[in-house]
Structure 1
């Protein structure tokens, strides 16, 4: 047995751990819902019609006090309120000890409050839509202990694979689609893991997926956030080809069976990725080294959105 492999002529771009995202805002922290196009809960439908196992039912936490209530509390319990604020600030400052990408503190600000603050759908779709075909094993609250799910991205398709016992050699394909069926992928930065993918399908349904742990430059999102444009050796200038070969040779743990993959990034620069000899792991998928290259075939600077 062996981990999932691309087909002939197909280029493997990324493989990393993935699951349904979890809420970050206080009212929905650690929670997730499954909705139809009218925002109705469809957990029971998924259980009865799609064979999903029973999962937890979540209730959003109470909203914080209104401004008038806060003023009233200030009049009658200022001392207690100040003490509570000091404790809360201490907790917040402790939580902000780690910096996210770009040196920013904390999870950032909501971009979609309706679906990030008051509610947190991770699957949204009418009956018969593509989002409803996603495998239930993406739900960390439903899958068996020790079972892991990975997203595999190639230049042709996107697949979800799963395996028990933290052993990728036991891969089973749970779901896959052609990339043409994805209409848009948004980077959702209001997240404790720094980056999440909101994937909109061509039928109007969508899902919100994330790595189980924080990632800087999550490779799944890197290769889904915009169409893949491969730069093949025959299309490179002599200087570009020389730079790619030089960088690949500098990777001492490079897998010699894997050719470097070069893709054009949103900035117009190129990303060189070289796979290492490290085996596929449950937590991190495949391991790659990367370097940016300018259009002239020199070291290129990283631009926002390139990773």
Structure 2
């Protein structure tokens, strides 16, 4: 008996005759069109509104604006340096087995995270009402009102307040490292601080760096709060100018552009820092694996 094999085209399961039709995402096209329409409306409003763009271009590189820009960058760097140093110290203290250190660190974090930044700056700026004189009696004394300038008050408010947030970031990074690393360090005779410095903190950096970078970017914008106590950063200097020439929106646009420029530079730096650290960490892990391989072979060869 002979059987006839049916051709693929005559089979009821053949798909050769079907046409592949790409999926249409009409919702995406509609949402994109609406977003473009909103952007076009906003750009048109700024382009044809009562904004003198010549004034914006004139004050973009004005001396007083450049001075404010420099103060903003320096305040960001100084305040974040203080915040990172204090954050590491108080993160170690809050995880210490010493109850006194733990209580002090807990109070510090609770207080400075629980009070507004503007309130902290005002407290530092008006510290002379509580301590009229500061210094060591008989050695050095000065009036507090002369020592606590707008710059110092801003630095203390931003730096010490940032330390409380950084402490929680560092604590989270330390907790992300497996507890076996600490136990292994203790087993080979390392003290707690040595293990923290040489083993725990380097491994926790992959968790710490991204939020710290975000805090740096936030600090750039938080410096604008210091304009309340007359610290001459970008916003304060822009306000000083538009109080004189009444060009409010133009000077606010100048300040906005410079804030965005500084934040963009810091964001790019954060991106490359994260990539460099991730690359170094991969190299370190690879080196450890290569060094551990011969040991494993030798141990496996033992009877």
TM bucket normalised to smaller:
under 0.3
Q: What TM-score, normalized by structure 2, do the two folds share?
A: 0.21
Q: What TM-score, normalized by structure 1, do the two folds share?
A: 0.21
Structure ID, larger Rg: 2
Which structure shows the bigger proportion of residues in helix conformation? Answer: 2
